[in-house]
A and B are shown apart, each in its own frame.
Chain A
Amino acid sequence: MKLLIVDDNKMLVEIYTTGLMERGFEVIYSISGSECLNILKKEIPDIILMDIMMPCMDGWETLMEIRSNPVTKNIPVLMLTAKALTIEDINDYGDYIDGFLIKPFTLDGLSERIHDFNNKRQEYLDIVSEAHKICSDSVKVDEWAELGREFYVIKNLVSVFEDEYGELFRDSSIKTGLPDILDRIMGKCRKRGEIFFELTDELGLSGILPEEFRDNTICITRSG
């Protein structure tokens, strides 16, 4: 599996490169957003690990460049960052990233996360190719697959957020309510789930979607 690490911290890049190569990954790296874009002109990695806080072109900018290029737009990008995940991040970039990993990680821990992500992704890709066999309308199936991917990414981001800060929003002693933006994200996520599952039934694909992929519950809800 070929990884592209993008991080302005040279020492960290060196450590992750060494450590991940020792654990069986093929690793290339860049220490800035623009260097990353240059590398992508020649090589297409399986997964990109992207830092956010970088001088000149930051991780988000680089991400948007990658997504706007037809050649690179489908490469999964995991944000590997020292920055805390905020609801604003989810709201602004939730549609463009594939995961959010908060530093620090042990090398084993990081390797495990990447494998986890890849396995889930592979599982989903298998379901999608199965869907192509069942349903002849491949345009519709691709549409369905993308809808599902977007749904699962946001759901996943919300659950990362929930794990880290859920109690803050549920049991907060300060009764300031849930921010509107979080409400909007929840609404968007639920809506996506509904549309995705409707389309699943419509295309006759409900048989190939495992139980764990059929869960539409979003954890954070308004209390009172």
Chain B
Amino acid sequence: MKILVADDLLDNRYLLESALKSSGYDVVTASDGREALDILHIAPVDMIISDILMPNMDGFQFCREVKKDRKLRKIPFIFYTASYTSPEDKRFGLGIGADSYIVKPVQPGDFLEIVEGLLKGKDRIMPCEAVLKEIPTEEYLRDYCSRVFNQLERKISELEEKNQALLRSESALKNSERKFYELFNNISEAVFMQKVGFRGERSSFIEVNDTACRRLGYSRDELLGMNTSDINRDYLKKDSEKISELKENGRINFEALHLRKDGSAFPVDVTARLFKMGDDEYIVSLARDLTKEKESRVRESEALERIEDNLIQLSILNDEIRNPLAVITGIACIEESEGSKEILNQVDKINNIIRRLDKGWLESAKIRNYLMKYHGFSDDGEEI
């Protein structure tokens, strides 16, 4: 038994061919109705299975041609389609003489059963003269056009839907890109991105944010041509060590001095991360400006010095009061009179005040020590 399969898609043809061949049928294939007709005129087959939507000559036209041909009209004809799926389509297909109309998807077993069933009853298939008579050319053309037109409309609306989805995802992508662009350019850290070369060296900057440009005084285009050594004053030859540390830990953190375009330098705290994109490795570095922090440290240490001076003055004053107080006490003891007891009372009161001052002084000294210990100042206000 030989079956002709007509389908414009190679994958579909292949699928049908292997399914049929494995059931013991011979198979010839054509990629449209025209080619299929040519094959039929050379050698007849026992069955035709045809797709509908094909170039040059579609399945409907092909079927009509077969059924008009006296030599071919007895060959059982099956429509096998995924695109013409409405009841009207099916009615039209069967109306022009097809013996079966199968809408994809269908189980291979069911499909083969239909094929087999049709082949068995092959001799019982009526010639289609009556059918042909009932459908005059004009009517056929009108219905055919309406089928094709429907199909086109559906295709167009499908395309339109796909197009809309594409537009939606494109706009989502744009929004997301915009969001990250704003984040990237508005964070207070300067961001630099570099590629890692195959010898482990850094490329010139491939991306920088607005903050980086503003801080360093360069335009974006200027910065993109530059490298770490151009903006890092203490850039050492040891950068390869930094990179290997990066590769080991994924991130590193260090302090550095960055150079502006005008040559001035400012302190920064840099956090660098390594990441992979495709087969390449990249370094993204975030530099935080430490200028204000350092300035406030200097101010703090100056304030600390003032506190220190005041503390010394206070302790000297206390001592200076105690000596005359000791003299007064002594005199009151030696020249014992009615008033001396009261004098000693008063001295006691003053002494208590001085002791309170002492406590205040000690408390302040304690706070000063605390500041030195936990805020990283040594006695001279230098950072430890």
Separation of A82 and B363 alpha carbons in the complex (Å): 19
Contacts of A83 in B (CB 8 A): 315, 318-319, 322
Which one of B328, B347, B351, B359 contacts A165 once the chains associate, using CB atoms below 8 Å?
Answer: B359
Contact in complex: B363, A168 (CB < 8 Å): yes
Residues of A close to B373: CB separation below 8 A:
180
Number of interface residues of B (CB under 8 A): 32
Given the interface contacts A16-B330, A105-B329, does A82 sit within 8 Å of B323 by beta carbon?
A: yes
- Asked whether A84 lies within 8 Å of B361 as measured between CB atoms, the reply is yes
Residues of A close to B367: CB separation below 8 A:
174, 176
Q: 1/0 per position for B324-341, CB-CB distance to A under 8 A? A: 011111111110000000
Question: How long is the Cα–Cα vector from A107 to B332 in the complex, in angstroms?
Answer: 9
Within 8 A of B (CB), among A79-96: 81-84, 86
Q: Contacts A83-B319, A84-B318, A179-B369: A106 and B333 contacting too (C-beta < 8 A)? A: yes
Q: Are A106 and B362 in contact (CB under 8 A)?
A: no
**Does chain B have a CB within 8 A of A164?**
yes
B366 touches A (CB below 8 Å):
yes
Knowing A86-B362, A165-B359, A179-B366, the reply to whether A106 touches B318 (Cβ < 8 A) is no
In the complex, besides A82-B321, A181-B369, 11 extra interface pairs with C-beta distance below 8 angstroms are A12-B323, A16-B330, A81-B319, A84-B361, A102-B322, A104-B325, A104-B328, A104-B330, A105-B326, A179-B366, A180-B373
Q: Please name all residues of chain A whose beta carbon is closer than 8 Å to the beta carbon of B329 when the two chains form the complex.
A: 104-106
Residue of A nearest to B329 (CB): A104
The reply to whether B323 and A9 form a contact with Cβ atoms under 8 Å apart is yes
Interface residue? A56 (CB, 8 A) = no
Is A172 interfacial (CB-CB < 8 Å)?
yes
- How far is it, in angstroms, between the C-alpha of A107 and the C-alpha of B322 when the chains are bound? 15
Interface membership of A53, Cβ < 8 A? yes
User: Contacts A176-B366, A176-B370 hold; do A84 and B358 have CB atoms under 8 A apart?
Assistant: yes
The answer on a CB contact under 8 Å between A15 and B327 is yes
- Shortest Cβ gap from B312 to chain A (Å): 12
Is the CB of B39 closer than 8 A to any CB of chain A?
no
- Give the distance in Å from the alpha carbon of A83 to the alpha carbon of B361 in the complex: 12
Q: Is the CB of B326 within 8 A of A104?
A: yes
| A177 x B330 contact (CB < 8 A) | no
Tell me whether B21 is interfacial, beta carbon within 8 Å: no
Task: Judge if B344 is at the interface, Cβ distance under 8 Å.
Answer: yes
A146 to B49, CA, bound (A): 119
Given A168-B363, A179-B369, A180-B373, also A82-B322 (CB < 8 A): yes
Q: What CA separation (Å) do A181 and B320 show in the bound complex?
A: 27
Given contacts A83-B315, A103-B323, A179-B366, contact A19 B330 (CB under 8 A): yes
- CB-contact partner of B333 in A12, A81, A108, A174, under 8 A: A108
Residue of A nearest to B370 (CB): A176
Closest to B364 in A: A174
Chain B residues contacting A102 (CB-CB under 8 Å) are: 322
| A47 CB to nearest chain B CB (Å) | 18
Task: Point out which of B323, B355, B359, B369 has the most chain A C-beta atoms below 10 A from its C-beta.
Answer: B323
Closest-by-CB residue of B relative to A180 is B373
Question: With A15-B327, A83-B315, A180-B373 in contact, do A107 and B361 touch (Cβ < 8 Å)?
Answer: no
Closest-CB distance, B41 to chain A (whole angstroms): 104
Known: A19-B330, A107-B330. A168 touches B362 (CB 8 A): yes
Closest chain-A Cβ to B189's Cβ sits at a distance in Å of 34
Identify which of residues 60-100 in chain A touch chain B, using a CB-to-CB cut-off of 8 Å.
81-84, 86
In the complex, chain A residues 1-43 whose Cβ is within 8 Å of any chain B Cβ: 9, 11-12, 15-16, 18-19
Q: Which residue of B lies closest to A176 (CB)?
A: B370
Q: Are A9 and B362 in contact (CB under 8 A)?
A: no
Q: Is the CB of A103 within 8 A of B362?
A: no
Min Cβ gap A173→B in Å is 9
Chain A residues with CB under 8 Å of B331's CB are: 15
List 13 interface pairs A-B (beta carbons < 8 Å), by A numbering: A9-B323, A19-B334, A82-B319, A82-B323, A84-B361, A102-B322, A104-B326, A104-B328, A165-B358, A176-B367, A179-B369, A180-B369, A181-B369
Interchain CB contact under 8 A, A15 and B319: no
- The 8 A-B residue pairs whose C-beta atoms are closest, nearest first, are A15-B330, A82-B322, A176-B370, A104-B326, A103-B326, A107-B333, A104-B329, A82-B319
Tell me the smallest distance from the CB of B75 to a CB of chain A, in Å.
101
Name the A residues within 8 Å of B358 (CB-CB): 84, 164-165
Which residues on the A side are within 8 Å of B361 (C-beta)?
A: 84
With a CB–CB cut-off of 8 A, which chain A residues contact B326? 9, 12, 82, 103-105
